Structure 1
Amino acid sequence: MAQAHTEPIVGVLLAGGQSRRMGGGDKCLAKLAGRPLLSHVIGRLKAQTDTLVLNANGDPERFSRFGLPTVADPVEGFAGPLAGVLAGFTWAKSHAPDARWIVT
């Protein structure tokens, strides 16, 4: 039987890419069943984490309706998903210092 973790869990939603294969734009805002993909992911992870943070580059205002803190990559030039993971670690260190688990 799996044991429940009592340490806080931070969920980092990686949405900092350029969506080149989809022709640009924000992939996480594409609709599925009438709702943005990001809404579906938030709905799944919210119950499994204590805190969620969104990693996205560009103007964070476009994600304000989701009510999540938004952090950009700390590395310039769209360095890839590991830059987003680093952004999540950096955010968690200062905003959720008791967290012992980070999921992406």
Structure 2
Amino acid sequence: MATAVKTPEDKYDDLSQQIDALRADLAGITESVGAIAREEAQSAKARVNGAVNDAAARGRAAGEHARAQAEDGVAHAADYVRENPLTAVAGAAALGLVFGFLTARR
């Protein structure tokens, strides 16, 4: 049985076909990698958005808590002044004097 001897042109054609097949494979791999990268980017974006939303919710809750505590403190101070008006006025006068002495220029 005789084997066919390939001419340089036949070898060139075979090599060209193999290169074309490699290009097609590389294009497919590039498309797959791009799709995976897009999916990962979307997933990362969703995680970041979730973390931002959680942080915003915690910030709002902390702000509401601080506001409620401040309102309680103001209400408590108002009640104290109503119950002890002279003590409150004397305390305010003492604080005013201390502040005045500290900020007075000599």
Q: Same fold (TM over 0.5)?
A: no
Task: Answer 1 or 2: which has greater helix percent.
Answer: 2
TM-score for the superposition, normalised by structure 1:
0.20
Q: Which has the larger radius of gyration?
A: 2
